[in-house]
Amino acid sequence: MEPGNDTQHLEFLLLGLAENPELQPLIFGLFLSMYLVTVLGNLLIILATISDSHLHTPMYFFLSNLSFVDACFTSTTIPKMLVNIQIQSKAITYAGCITQMCFFLLFAGLDDFLLTAMAYDRFVAICHPLHYMVIMNQRLCGLLVLVSWVVSVLHALLQTLIMLQLSFCTNLEIIPHFFCELNQLIQRACSDTFLNEVMIYFAAVLLIGGPLAGILYSYCKILSSIRAISSAQGKYKAFSTCASHLSVVSLFYGTTLGVYLSSAVTQNPHSIATASLMYTVVTPMLNPFIYSLRNKDIKNTLRRLCGKGR
């Protein structure tokens, strides 16, 4: 195909996680269960933060936004995989593939920025407790979320527009993955991908390296402030306020960096696709459990919502 040619007949085949037909019902049941748990868990977190006035604070405001993004993040990949398994088809249209890639980049970027905003919130709460409510006012919280959305949308659209300039050699391209991942699409293009590769490295430095540096800086300051607290009880209380967020950050960045570092070492696409499950499916599913199990306010609100706290 030449650049600019009609793409109406272009399709991609998503090979998924296993080609053995006998494993497909097991994979369908497993991922349907994980998807339902992810969506239900994150929706419960959102409902809890909205319904309880005690949770109308900056920390829970960011948490509810993160839960919404996590539910959407998982919804960009799993439903299509489940549909393909159910209808016994691996095909996805060109438009569907580009759309999936665009929304995947959008919600992945939002996850990144929201975790950074939450780290800043914990930094202010522990390092500047007397000025917390003044600094973390509604205007600043709303602005941080708005900037996260704007930057993530612009990045996703820019990557998508550059991807649309690429051409493919045949009308049927095979992707050894369970979703339309950006690198996989670029590797299968016939035209020059130099601009796409430059954009990927630029985005990695700006949208991953920048937020990660901000999170690390925040936690360096937090640890320094905790060390200055004289009482052991005070240290424990201060650390417990950011333990859940630190667990989520470690899980998200650990799995994401692990996948992309391993992809640079190994050329086995099946292994990369399997490893990608950690940050695309497992991490969004575990986030509600991490925050609810370690947070008394969330647990008490969820009990009331379920009728057990009356």
For residue 102, being part of any structural domain is answered with yes
pLDDT score for 309: 47
The arithmetic mean of pLDDT across residues 44-50, rounded, is 91
Q: Which two tokens stand for residue 202?
A: 């630029």
Residue 3 is assigned to a structural domain of this protein: no
Within a domain: 310: no
Local confidence band at 264 (pLDDT 50, 70, 90 cut-offs):
low
* Overall average pLDDT of the 36-45 stretch: 94
Contact indicator for 105, 179 with CB cutoff of 8 Å? no
Residue 39: per-residue pLDDT: 95
Axis crossing angle, helix 58-75 with helix 138-164, rounded to the nearest 10: 20
Contact assessment for residue 64 and residue 45, using Cβ atoms and an 8 Å cutoff: yes
Neighbours of 264 (CB within 10 A): 7
Which pLDDT score, from 0 to 100, does residue 290 have? Answer: 86
Q: What CATH number is associated with residue 156?
A: 1.20.1070.10
Query: Residue 92: in which H helix or E strand, if any?
Result: strand 91-93
Tell me if 267 is assigned to some domain.
yes
214 belongs to a structural domain:
yes
Average pLDDT score over residue span 132-144: 95
What's the mean pLDDT in 161-185? 90
User: CA 218, CA 221: separation in Å to the nearest integer?
Assistant: 5
Q: How many domains does the chain have?
A: 1
Question: Residue 2 domain-assigned?
Answer: no
Reported as a single tens digit per residue, the pLDDT across 203-223 is 888 888 899 999 999 999 999
Cα separation of the two ends of the chain: 65
Q: Coil, helix or strand for 248?
A: helix
Asked if the structure places residue 72 within a domain, the reply is: yes
* Residue range(s) defining the domain that contains residue 238: 11-305
pLDDT bracket for residue 4 (50, 70, 90): very low
Domain assignment of residue 291, yes or no: yes
Q: Compute CA 270 distance to the chain's CA centroid, rounded to the nearest angstrom.
A: 21
